[in-house]
């Protein structure tokens, strides 16, 4: 039962990253590449009608985490208090930038909100990577010093950083060189993902340039991925043990690399959606490989006194989880139907939607 | 410890108060949009279709605001109330997760279809998309109030050895006697807000001689929906809700009515007065004898238990706050009925659109249903304090054990600054839509 809900939760979160990921990526492209008003318009048109529906997946993921793994939800959300609240602020600030910009026709006003939108998108991409890094690295559950836990249960509190920025310190920070490295990977990957979405959904004059950018960034991404694989053992001494014990799990990294190599051919694709498909595959494969490598842990402990949080010691009661299956199956079938209808009605390019011109 | 929970409570109160500005409009408004669309299908008068489309734009803006301010609500259960989440997540996680899965997807998907899909779908299907938006937003309200009802009146649970609550009966969450009265009461409150907004904007158009055709539709529809909902919110739904409080939370009931001591021969109903907590009495009181007993038990001399009958440890934490919240709600509710009744009379005499003082009153009244809904929620929440889960889990035992009050104050200040900007954005966008007015289209 725990495994069922774990798969459900990871699926919802992966869908969220793929969907809101292109929003963040488009924001980064907006910050660095869009020079003319026309280019900016094309980008906001491509994400405008979707962003708040995409954030619904985050709400759904949060709700399901609360329901299925309440102890993980409680321990992790209070422990990562500051970065989580800052993610909320960035999500709100980003929405404000996107929507407030068009309200006053004045260059200074527009510049301020353009930057607000772009920079918060960039920071969100960075923070989500850092968050993933924290989950892989683990935290000092129970805030143990010299073998004695300072708190009941697994509760902890992580400051934003510690002065050494080392992932091996006894009292860790949210940001260290390892988590920051994953943050950079996330920024690069989501920038490409956003570029692919813009290519997919618009006929912008930016598109040929974006295809070149995706190609160049893909070389960077490949280098980063290879580097991260070679330094992973510094964090987790035995990073591939799950894959060796369960060889079928190699399918996750295989999907990631399919996506990665598929993007090298982005310039020659006849169909504009293919690039987006491959960056989605990369995100899906990358995320699933990462969480699979620590399974069944969901938040590893860095001390020997308090045991790691797993899907088994953080789950809700059996009765609740079983009864949830009934309503979840009904709900997910309905969601699939809505999605099908929605994408059938709104297929194709978005240039003419006229978003923001109420 | 008291200091430590103060900022957590302030942050939750601030963010939920701001958040609920938006859903309370969308729930009621979606019903009125369905009405406009249905009226169009029946009469084929295109102005009703334009009215539906205009209000759906306002709905979309409020929905987006609801989403961005709603994510912090869900996160705060974990960030600030971790112990509460750990102990009760197995139960309230059910209804909260269901809300995400059943209502938000429904609402957001069909909102997009309603806004951009009219030509592709045809009129009947377009009506249906509007109906699904309504269904989604009411389902959301239902599941949130199911969660709320469990905290007010816990059912279907067992307490495990480690103090955690486990669900033992799923259907009990929905047959909870607290649920239906609160849900209907809340939904009627939401319809009042949307009625006053629709009528108020209509009055604005009539008074400023812009879009007068729509002004009349909005005023008429708003006034009729407003009268019906203002009555239903008091009787029977408000009455049921109050009787639940008498039955299950008598100390909270005494606090909200301002009954400090049990009275011989029936309790008076307090209209105005200020709680004096040092001397345990009301100052400058204006009250009508025996009415509270009658309203509660349909008997003029029935006994209402005063606060003196309960141990201080179970008294509501903030009795003056509870008392004022309740009395503001009831006072405003009375004014709503009065104004809507007068407006309806003028409507039947065919004089409403020219009775300037009523139109001005309707315009002026727009903020007040928001205040009444908010104070209504304060009544329910302050009445439950000092408990998070009534009689079982105290609020002080629900906070995150490792988050210091300094960090909470930091994030509270951040939310205040950010929501100020968000409020500014909302007013600009809403003002723009309202100023532009409904678009008149010709149908092919």
Neighbours of A230 (CB within 10 A): 9
What are the φ and ψ backbone dihedral angles of B274, each rounded to 5 degrees?
-115, 125
What does the pLDDT read at residue B443? 53
Distance (Å, whole) CA B210 – CA B214: 9
For residue A172, the chain B residues in CB contact (below 8 A) are: none
Distance CA(B146)–CA(B56), nearest Å, equals 27
Candidate from B75, B166, B403 with C-beta closest to A317: B166
Instruction: Look at B425 and A103 and tell me if their CB atoms are within 8 Å.
Output: yes
Cα angle B338-B341-B347, degrees, rounded to a multiple of 5: 145
**Taking CA atoms, what residue in B is nearest to A63?**
B97
Measured at the alpha carbon of residue B293, what is the angle toward residues B288 and B299, in degrees to the nearest 5? 120
Residue A241: pLDDT over 50:
yes
> Tokens for A150?
């300072």
* Backbone φ, ψ for residue B276 (5° rounding): -110, 100
Query: Cβ contact (<8 Å) for B400 and A323?
Result: no
pLDDT in tens, A14-23: 999 999 999 9
Q: Could you tell me which residues come within 8 angstroms of residue A31 by beta carbon, excluding any fewer than 6 positions away? A: A114, A115, A117, A118, A119, A121, A122
Most confident range, picked from A299-308, B375-384, B400-409: B375-384
Q: Quick one: DSSP state of residue B167?
A: E
A chain contacts of residue B121, beta-carbon cutoff 8 Å: 345
Distance from CA of A40 to the nearest CA of B (A): 20
Q: In this structure, are strands B269-276 and B165-167 parallel, antiparallel, or unpaired?
A: unpaired
Q: How far is A338 from chain B (nearest CA, A)?
A: 6
**Per this entry, what is the length of chain A?**
358
Question: Looking at the partner chain, which of A56, A61, A156 has a beta carbon nearest the beta carbon of B105?
Answer: A56
Q: Which residue has the higher pLDDT, B317 or B443?
A: B317
Question: What pLDDT does B2 receive?
Answer: 56
pLDDT category of residue A357 using cuts at 50, 70 and 90: very low
Q: Which of A164-178, A336-350, B415-429 is predicted with the least confidence, judged by mean pLDDT?
A: A336-350
For the residues B44-69, what does the mean pLDDT come to?
A: 92
Q: Which of B108, B415, B425 sits opposite A53 (nearest CB)?
A: B108
**pLDDT > 70 fraction of chain B, expressed in percent and rounded:** 99
- Tokens standing for residue A21: 């990921």
Nearest by CB: B428 against A89, A103, A345:
A103
**Residue pointed to by tokens 């799990």:** A249
* Residue written as token pair 């980003």: A94
Tell me what pLDDT residue A339 has.
Answer: 85
Distance between terminal CA atoms of chain B? 67
Mean pLDDT of A55-78: 93
Report how far residue A151's alpha carbon sits from residue A156's, in angstroms, rounded to the nearest whole number: 7
For chain A, give every domain's residue range: 2-353
- Nearest-neighbour CA in chain A from B11: distance (Å): 12
Q: How many Cβ contacts (< 8 angstroms) between chains A and B? A: 223
Cβ of B401 within 8 Å of Cβ of A152? The answer is: yes
Mean of all residue pLDDT scores within chain B:
93
Banded model confidence at residue A291, pLDDT cuts 50, 70, 90: very high
* pLDDT at A356 exceeding the cut of 70: no
Task: Render pLDDT for A177-189 as a digit per residue (tens, 0 to 9).
Answer: 999 999 999 999 9
The mean pLDDT of A308-321, rounded to a whole number, is 92
Q: In the predicted model, is pLDDT for residue B303 greater than 90?
A: no
Q: Is the alpha carbon torsion for B268, B274, B276, B279 positive or negative?
A: negative
Tokens of B255: 């606090």
Contact A95 B68 (CB under 8 A): yes
3-state helix, strand, coil in chain A (%, to 5): 70, 5, 25
Lowest mean pLDDT segment, chosen from A256-265, B110-119, B428-437? B110-119
Q: Is B337:B226 a contact under the CB 8 Å cutoff?
A: no
Percent of chain B whose pLDDT exceeds 90: 76
Locate A102 and state its tokens: 């068009």
DSSP A164-188: T--TTSSS--SB-HHHHHHHHHHHH
Confidence of residue A44 (pLDDT cuts 50, 70, 90): confident
* Per-residue pLDDT tens digits for B229-279: 999 999 899 999 999 999 999 999 999 999 998 888 888 889 988 998 888
Enumerate the residues of chain B whose CB falls inside 8 A of the CB of residue A100.
421, 425, 428
Q: How many CA atoms lie within 13 A of A45 on its CB side?
A: 21
> With contacts defined as CB-CB under 8 Å, which chain B residues touch A342?
109, 112-113
DSSP B49-92: HHHHHHHHHHHHHHHHHHHHHHHHHHHHHHHT-HHHHHHHHHHH
Distance CA(B307)–CA(B302), nearest Å, equals 16
Give burial (CB, 10 Å; 0-12/13-18/19+) of A107: exposed
pLDDT bracket for residue A358 (50, 70, 90): very low
- In this prediction the ipTM stands at 0.90
Least confident of B351-365, B374-388, B429-443: B429-443
Q: Which of A77, A251, A113 is nearest to B72 (CA)?
A: A77
Please report, for residues B173, B286, B323, the alpha-carbon distance to residue B275 in angstroms, rounded to integers and kept in the order given.
36, 12, 8
Residue range B197-216: average pLDDT?
95
Q: Residue A225's pLDDT is what? A: 92
Phi, psi of A270 (to 5 degrees): -75, -40
Mutate to test the interface with B, among A12, A88, A154, A159 (most CBs of B within 10 A): A88
Distance of CA B252 to the CA centre of its chain: 19
Mean pLDDT in residue range A233-244? 85
B93–chain A nearest CA distance, Å: 4
- Dist. CA A104–CA B68, nearest whole Å: 22
Please determine, for residue A34, whether its predicted confidence score (pLDDT) is greater than 70. Answer: yes
Residues of B in contact with A62 (CB under 8 A): 71, 74-75, 100
For CA atoms A254, A255, A258, A260, the dihedral sign is negative
pLDDT by residue (tens digit) across B17-36? 999 999 999 999 999 999 99
Q: If you write DSSP's letter for every residue of B81-100 in order, what string do you get?
A: -HHHHHHHHHHHHHHHHHII
**Given an 8 Å threshold on Cβ–Cβ distance, is A84 in contact with B75?**
yes
Write the residue in A79, A331, A332 that is nearest to B402 by C-beta.
A79
Give φ, ψ of B279 to 5 degrees: -100, 5
Given this model, what pLDDT does residue A286 score? 93
* Candidates B67, B77, B415; nearest CB to A66: B77
Tell me how far apart the alpha carbons of residues B169 and B172 are, in angstroms, rounded to a whole number.
5
Residue among B75, B90, B407 whose CB faces A316 most closely: B90
Whether A170 shows a pLDDT value over 90: the answer reads no
Residue identified by tokens 């920079």 is: A119
- With H, G, I as helix, E, B as strand and everything else as coil, classify residue B300: coil
CB contact under 8 A, A323 and B170: yes
Strand, helix or coil at B285? strand
CA of B411: which chain A residue's CA is closest?
A85
Is the pLDDT assigned to residue B48 strictly greater than 60? Answer: yes
Region A204-223 average pLDDT = 90
d(CA A88, CA B73) in angstroms, rounded, equals: 10
For residue A166, the distance in angstroms to the closest alpha carbon of chain B comes to: 22
At B416-427, the pLDDT tens digits run 999 998 998 899
Minimal CA–CA distance to B147: which of B176, B189, B123, B169? Answer: B176
* Nearest-Cα residue of chain A relative to residue B159: A317
**pLDDT surpassing 60 at residue B211:** yes
CB contact under 8 Å between B71 and A79, yes or no, is no
State how far the Cα of A305 lies from the Cα of A303, in Å rounded to an integer. Answer: 6
* Residue A227: both structure tokens together: 């580097």
pLDDT at B37 over 70: yes
Whole-number Å distance between alpha carbons of B214 and B209 = 11
Q: Tell if the CB–CB gap between A103 and B432 is shorter than 8 Å.
A: yes
Q: Please write down the HEC assignment for all residues of A92-139.
A: HHHHHHHHHHHHCCCHHHHHHHHHHHHHHHHHHHHHHHHHHHHHHHCE
Q: What angle do CA B145, B146, B150 make, to 5 degrees?
A: 110
Q: Is the peptide bond before B321 cis (omega within 30 degrees of 0)?
A: no
């Amino acid at each position: 039962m725990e495994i069922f809900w774990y798969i459900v939760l990871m699926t919802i979160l992966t869908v969220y990253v793929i969907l809101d990921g292109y929003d963040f990526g488009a924001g980064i492209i907006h910050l660095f590449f869009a020079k003319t008003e026309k280019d900016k318009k094309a980008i906001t048109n491509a994400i405008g009608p979707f962003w708040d529906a995409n954030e619904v997946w985050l709400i759904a993921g949060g709700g399901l985490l609360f329901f299925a793994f309440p102890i993980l939800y409680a321990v992790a959300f209070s422990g990562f208090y500051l970065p989580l609240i800052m993610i909320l602020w960035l999500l709100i600030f980003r929405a404000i930038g996107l929507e407030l910009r068009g309200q006053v026709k004045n260059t200074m006003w527009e510049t301020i909100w353009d930057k607000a939108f772009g920079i918060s998108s960039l920071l969100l991409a960075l923070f989500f990577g850092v968050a993933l890094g924290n989950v892989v690295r683990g935290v000092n559950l129970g805030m143990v010093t010299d073998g004695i836990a300072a708190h009941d249960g697994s509760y902890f509190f992580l400051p934003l950083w510690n002065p050494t920025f080392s992932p091996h310190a006894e009292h860790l920070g949210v940001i260290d060189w390892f988590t920051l490295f994953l943050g950079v990977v996330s920024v690069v990957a989501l920038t490409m993902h956003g570029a692919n979405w813009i290519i997919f959904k618009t006929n912008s004059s930016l598109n040929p340039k974006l295809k070149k950018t995706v190609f160049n960034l893909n070389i960077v991404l490949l280098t980063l991925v290879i580097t991260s694989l070679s330094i992973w053992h510094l964090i987790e001494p035995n990073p591939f043990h799950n894959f060796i014990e369960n060889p079928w799990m190699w399918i996750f990294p295989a999907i990631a690399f399919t996506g990665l190599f598929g993007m090298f051919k982005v310039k020659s694709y006849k169909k504009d959606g293919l690039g987006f498909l491959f960056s989605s595959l990369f995100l899906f494969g990358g995320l699933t490989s990462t969480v699979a490598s620590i399974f069944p842990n969901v938040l590893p402990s860095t001390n020997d006194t308090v045991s790691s949080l797993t899907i088994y010691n953080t789950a809700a009661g059996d009765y609740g989880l079983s009864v949830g299956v009934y309503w979840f199956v009904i709900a997910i079938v309905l969601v699939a139907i809505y999605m099908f209808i929605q994408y059938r009605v709104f297929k194709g390019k978005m240039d003419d939607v006229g978003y923001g011109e109420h | 410890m008291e200091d430590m929970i103060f900022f957590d409570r302030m942050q939750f109160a601030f963010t939920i108060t701001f958040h609920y500005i938006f859903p309370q409009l969308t729930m009621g408004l979606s019903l009125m949009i369905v009405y406009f669309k249905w009226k169009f299908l029946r009469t084929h008068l295109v102005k009703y279709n334009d009215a539906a489309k205009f209000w759906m734009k306002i709905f979309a803006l409020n929905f987006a605001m609801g989403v961005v301010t709603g994510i912090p609500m869900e996160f705060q259960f974990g960030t600030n109330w971790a112990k509460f989440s750990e102990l009760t997540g197995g139960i309230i996680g059910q209804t909260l997760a269901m809300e995400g899965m059943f209502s938000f997807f429904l609402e957001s998907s069909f909102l997009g279809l309603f806004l951009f899909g009219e030509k592709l779908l045809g009129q009947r299907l377009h009506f249906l998309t509007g109906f699904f938006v309504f269904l989604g937003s009411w389902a959301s309200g239902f599941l949130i109030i199911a969660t709320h009802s469990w905290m007010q009146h816990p059912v279907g649970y067992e307490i495990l050895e480690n103090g955690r609550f486990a669900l033992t009966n799923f259907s009990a969450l929905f047959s909870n006697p607290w649920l239906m009265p609160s849900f209907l009461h809340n939904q009627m409150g939401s319809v009042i807000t949307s009625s006053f907004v629709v009528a108020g904007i209509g009055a604005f158009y009539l008074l400023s001689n812009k879009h007068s055709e729509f002004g009349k539709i909005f005023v008429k529809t708003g006034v009729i929906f407003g009268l019906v909902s203002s009555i239903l919110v008091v009787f029977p739904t408000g009455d049921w809700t109050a009787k639940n409080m008498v039955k299950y939370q008598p100390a909270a009931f005494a606090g909200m009515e301002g009954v400090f001591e049990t009275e011989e021969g029936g309790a008076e109903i307090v209209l105005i007065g200020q709680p004096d907590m040092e001397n345990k009495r009301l100052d400058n009181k204006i009250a009508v004898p025996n009415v509270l007993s009658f309203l509660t038990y349909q008997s003029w001399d029935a006994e209402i238990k005063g606060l003196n009958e309960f141990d201080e440890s179970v008294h509501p934490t903030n009795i003056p706050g509870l008392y004022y919240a309740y009395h503001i709600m009831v006072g405003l509710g009375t004014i709503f009925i009065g104004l809507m009744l007068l407006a309806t009379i003028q409507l039947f005499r065919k004089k409403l659109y020219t009775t300037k003082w009523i139109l001005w009153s309707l315009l002026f009244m727009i903020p007040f249903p928001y205040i009444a809904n908010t104070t209504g929620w304060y009544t329910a929440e302050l009445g439950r304090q000092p408990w998070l889960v009534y009689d079982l889990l105290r609020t002080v035992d629900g906070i995150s054990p490792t988050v210091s009050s300094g960090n909470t104050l930091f994030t509270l200040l951040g939310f205040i600054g950010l929501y100020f900007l968000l409020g500014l954005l909302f007013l600009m966008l809403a003002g723009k839509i309202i100023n532009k007015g409904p678009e008149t289209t010709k149908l092919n």
